[in-house]
Structure 1
Amino acid sequence: MPQNTDRDSLAFVRKTWSTLEPYHGAVYFSPEAAGLYAEFGVDARTGYFASRSAALGAAPADLVIATFYNFNPQVVRRAIPAAWEAATPQQFAAARLTGIDTTLRRILGEDVSSPALARAAELARSAAEVTVRNPQGRPLFAAHAALPWPSAPHLVLWHAQTLLREFRGDGHVGALLTAGLSGIEALVTHAAAGDIGAGVLRDSRAWTPEQWEQAVQSLRQRGWLDGGPDLALTEDGARRRAAIEHTTDSLAALPYTTLGPAACAELRTLVRPFSLKVAKELLPWAVERLSEESA
């Protein structure tokens, strides 16, 4: 259930998710993980779809399209179910965990056995275990929640953030659907909000320029975007986009409000150096945001 709280009181929810997200997101840019997928004979994009959906079992393409939401369905269908002929879901899941284990050990070095990381893992697991008791309406999260917990602290922290981000992500899909946005339209509004460039969002989700332009025109007709040469939200579009983000924060709030603002602040302080190290190596777009964040 969404938390009945205003935007200001939910600020620490978004900040905590945002600070930890690069630590999880490293898996999608991990050369070690991509190398393991390549050993199965698949490219990095197929490996992404297969490894992230592996928790669902040998999922059909339509299930991956439904849960991943904003990818071009054609690119998903090229990857799934062909990936399951290359390796089993269990093999992809194991490769994903081995890949991120190797990546984090390489980037963090001695920090993987530090007291700070062990404490961060403890806090993050406490938050994530709240979500495990609340899987209703969150299929991709629930599938990952059924996976066994790893034992090493740096992987406990990574798995905890995996659960927290998929818990949030499933809620975000619900908010987008309620707002009447398709997957590609959600990406266009995200680009118009100015957080990430349109080309990055379009190309990473495999949409064509023609499909992107059709979505832009649809959103202009419905009052989300203005008619200027640059991609920009109207006043109403900005209000509606902010409402989506607030609903997403509210739906994701339970594990963080249960942990409490003080423990979340401690968690952010502990994890920020680890997220920064990962970001500098793999996610340069996240470095400036992490550097500017306050605890």
Structure 2
Amino acid sequence: MLIKVAICNFQDNGAGNRALWQGMHERLKSLGLHLLLRQEMWGAEENAGALATAAERVLGLTGIIGEGCCTALYYSPDLFTPVENYTPITGPMWVLPPTVRGLRLRGTTPSAVPLLVSSFHLNYSSPATRLPEAERLTQWADRWDRSANRAGTVHWPALIGGDTNSYPTPGTPGDPALPVLDQIADEPHRAHRSYLGPDGVRRMDDRPDATLRTAGLHDVARHLATTRGDTAALAPTMDACSTHGPDARVDRLYASPELLPALRTVEVIDMHDLSDHHTVVATFDQKTLTHILNNPLTRTA
């Protein structure tokens, strides 16, 4: 069996445009997802959580709505069980706080580790803020717990994804090219997507990607492109527009290295009629993932 994991940035504006909301959720349901990392869940908890409940009903998944409805996780209750009492402190720098949970995979042994899953949304307008947000995300690449069943501590593999509002580090064949700063028509957007280097030159912001990969997390689309030649995995997740510049791959999924043997595919699903972001879907082999979680990285120090 393949486990399907998706990233979807879509404004939960069901009260304002119910047909659009319904169309997006029906499209997501058709993908047969087991994990969904959502961003921009505005209004999900209003009216006693009516919109959040409606999404669960359409998707057939159980939702965890994060602080301020900024992000959320949806998971298949037939496949995953949340680890109780694990809500890490995200820190004061977050404008749009992430949602994070440990999810135990069905069929793993009692001594298996959970999968540490996070849906995040980095700051839209501040490259200076995005950098510490990305640095803070790296804490979930570094979760080690004492194990009653093993000597030393065991590593929780991380799977984190969302809207980075920035670009992957250039150099991967097939990746969309970085915008040229002075060719972005919207001048505020130039500031939103670039940073001032130490030499006084403004550069397009790829620092969150560099930070996450320095911490050992792997961009799964980049991994497939570089190890298997699957450049289709690098398809843009936002289309070119007159104000913001060319096609860009701003929505990305990152995984701890031990999860990569279970990775099978990455596909970008066209959502142009429903959202300004396309949906990224990655598949993982359940048998291989079960083996990884049953046999976690262990250290004695």
**Aligning the two structures, in what range does the TM-score lie when normalised by the shorter sequence?**
0.3 to 0.5
TM-score (norm 2): 0.32
Name the one with the larger strand percent.
2
Higher relative contact order (CA 8 A, sep 6+): 1
TM superposition score normalised by structure 1: 0.32
Q: Identify, as 1 or 2, the structure richer in helix.
A: 1
